[in-house]
Structure 1
Amino acid sequence: MADNQFARWIGGSPLWVLVRLLLLSLVVGVILSALGLDPMNILSSLESLVRHLFSFGFDTVERLWRYIVLGAVIVIPLWLITRIASRGR
């Protein structure tokens, strides 16, 4: 029973979820690479965000909101795709 609840919580069997996450990561990685981003670039952006968080106050809230919206542009469609893809099962 607990195994079934865990599989349900993560969205399917652990192996299938892992494969799906790897494929989605590959797609997002290709897209971000085409945009000229790399992991160190993203880490630098996050570091910059934390620095601005302590120094600019409300301007940082706006910057944080932009990061959230930017991430949502990728995350929400991928989440919807995975939900729609798993709906038929």
Structure 2
Amino acid sequence: MERFFGGNPALVLLRLAILSLIVGVVLAALGFSPYDLIQNIRDLAQRIYDMGFAAVEKAFRYFLLGAVIVFPVWVVMRVLKMFGREPGTEVAETGQQKR
């Protein structure tokens, strides 16, 4: 148990209680309350959640913008490849196949 706490558990808990009291006094002097902190944490989580979906939406818009160009070019290239010569079967000037 001492290994987990980093020392005698009773002393560690006492130090944590004293430190919590000191931090609480400082925060109260600055005008913070536990409810404000909890609400601020909730607001932060909500903003991060909203930002995450905004980023996904923005990425999807970028995908669509690129797809408007990329997919038609790909289709045209595939069609040209179907009706054109296969790579590696071009005929050289001597009439022999290149490999």
Length-normalised TM-score, structure 2: 0.49
Give the CA deviation at 1:11: 1.6
Structure showing the higher helix proportion among its residues: 1
The CA deviation string for residues 29-68 of structure 1, in whole angstroms up to 9 with x for no partner, is 01111110010000000110111011124xxxxxxxxxxx
Amino acid paired to 1:8: R
Are 2:27 and 1:32 equivalent residues in the alignment? yes
Are 2:53 and 1:51 equivalent residues in the alignment? no
Paired residues in the alignment total 52
Alignment of 1:1-89 (within 5 A): 6-57=1-52
Q: Whose radius of gyration is greater, 1 or 2?
A: 2
Give distance in 2, aligned partners of 1:28 and 1:36. 12
Give distance in 1, aligned partners of 2:28 and 2:47. 25
Give the CA deviation at 1:9: 2.2
> Which residue in 2 is equivalent to 1:67?
none
Give distance in 2, aligned partners of 1:55 and 1:39. 24
Give distance in 2, aligned partners of 1:35 and 1:8. 36
Please list every run of at least 4 consecutive aligned residues from structure 1 whose deviation after the TM superposition is greater than 2 angstroms: none
